[in-house]
A = this chain, B = another copy of it.
Amino acid sequence: MRFRDKQIEMAHGAGGKASRKLVEGLFVPLLAGAVPQSLSDSAHVQINGAPMAITTDSFVVNPIQFPGGSIGDLAVNGTMNDLAVSGAIGRALVATFVLEEGLPTSVLEAEIRAMADAARRAGVSIVGGDTKVVEHGKADKMYISTTGVGELIHGVRVDAASVRPGDKVILSGPIGNHGITILLARGDLDFEADLRSDTRCVLPLVQALAKEAAPGIRWMRDPTRGGVATSLNELARDCGLGIIISEEQIPMDDGVRGACELLGLDPLHIANEGQFLAIIAPEYADSAMNALTMTNGGEGATVIGEVREHPASAVLVTTGYGGTRIIDMLVGDPLPRIC
């Protein structure tokens, strides 16, 4: 699948189908053999024979501050979460800043503080960084990139190829809060709702899950850009199986539901920054749910569906009226610069 688009569009950064085409059609073939085929959220490598996980992300969210968080929170939590859902505990972070000339120091200071606080909460150290400055207008206040390295959680193996029909799909909590909060924070819409980003580190939840149900964990992913639908479609494609989820089971706050209805958005395509999906072997489903719902911040965890033989490589949603619909990855970019 060669990348044939003539130029880069916003959709290529949206985390949906266009992003995947860019990565699989251009980055992977050119970095030949260098990039793991699985394109998972983090890579596992060996340094001096010791296994470790590494992941990296850029953050270009606009606006940089929003109800419930800011770019500094995202930059720490997002990277810790990518490690967590790959089965790793982030131990050290490094960060780079591309700052816009003229940025008030107070704004930068607030974000460094946000990063320090988020790192403390997540139990990780920020061990190094780099700062560049670009001319006024060449960045929106700041872009941050973070990279995390971590230790693998004993007994946890995350691999789409291990997913089997009958496995349960667990979602850690309500969806859509981050994406809709950012959308409203831009102030372009004549619409208000009392929403907050769900940005947080999900490592404590993953650790609780691992403690009670490690052998039952098949796969995990944090459904950020592109939302739950995109993450599950990637899984369906990678494992070749079907994933059936029940619309009625999907936890969602009223404000998100209302905003999505008004704006014509599918909440399954909306970004989250503090949730994760787990595919759990059926015999571990109860202990997994117990572990999550007994853990602070996991009270909203829900079994939202299961894996089946069919439809192969696709995601099906059953609706409240007994109907079903196929839901695809995010196509295009309804919400640019969400993280």
Chain B residue with Cβ nearest A141: B8
Task: Output the nearest chain B residue to A150 by Cβ-Cβ distance.
Answer: B47
Tell me, in angstroms, the Cα distance from A124 to B4 when the chains sit together: 28
A6 at the interface (CB under 8 A from B): yes
A131:B7 contact, CB within 8 angstroms: no
Instruction: Name the B residues within 8 Å of A55 (CB-CB).
Output: 94, 128
- A59 CA to B97 CA, complexed, in Å: 10
Q: In residues 79-117 of chain A, which contact B (Cβ within 8 Å)?
A: 91-92, 94-105, 108-109, 112-113, 115-116
Q: Which of A27-35, A202-210, A237-245, A291-299 contacts B (4 or more CB under 8 A)?
A: A27-35
In the bound complex, CA of A99 to CA of B10 (Å)? 9
Output the least CB separation between A50 and chain B (Å): 3
Q: Are B143 and A101 in contact (CB under 8 A)?
A: no
Contacting residue for A54 out of B10, B19, B127, B138, CB 8 A: B127
Number of A residues contacting the other chain (C-beta, 8 Å)? 84
User: Closest CB-CB distance, A312 to chain B, in whole Å?
Assistant: 28
Q: Which residues of B contact A252 (CB under 8 A)?
A: none
Chain B neighbourhood of A8, CB < 8 A: 99-105, 108, 133
B143 near A9 (CB under 8 angstroms)?
no
Q: Assembly of this chain: how many copies? A: 2
Residues 242-262 of A, flagged 1 when their CB comes within 8 A of B and 0 if not, give 000000000000000000000
Given contacts A32-B116, A55-B128, A56-B94, contact A133 B7 (CB under 8 A): no
Which residue of B has the minimal Cβ distance to A78? B130
Quick check: A145 and B100 within 8 Å, CB to CB? no
Which residues of chain B are near A152, meaning CB under 8 Å? 48
Question: Are A7 and B125 in touch, CB under 8 angstroms?
Answer: no
Q: Does A193 contact B (CB under 8 A)?
A: no
Residue-wise interface mask of A (144-155) relative to B, using a CB-CB cutoff of 8 A (1 in contact, 0 not): 010101111000
Complex Cα gap A295–B138 (Å):
41
Q: Is A57 an interface residue (CB 8 A)?
A: yes
Is A326 part of the binding interface, using a Cβ–Cβ cutoff of 8 Å?
Answer: no
A126 on interface, CB distance cutoff 8 Å: yes
Are the CB atoms of A47 and B149 closer together than 8 Å? yes
Asked if A60 lies at the interface with its beta carbon under 8 angstroms from chain B, I say yes
Enumerate chain A interface residues (CB-CB to B < 8 A). Answer: 3, 5-14, 19, 22-23, 26-27, 30-32, 34-36, 42-43, 45-52, 54-60, 91-92, 94-105, 108-109, 112-113, 115-116, 119, 125-135, 137-140, 143, 145, 147, 149-152, 336-337
Sampled A-B contacts (14; CB under 8 Å): A7-B104, A9-B101, A27-B131, A31-B112, A34-B125, A48-B152, A54-B92, A54-B128, A55-B94, A56-B147, A57-B96, A58-B145, A135-B337, A137-B137
CB-based closest 6 A-B pairs: A13-B133, A50-B50, A147-B147, A145-B145, A58-B96, A56-B94
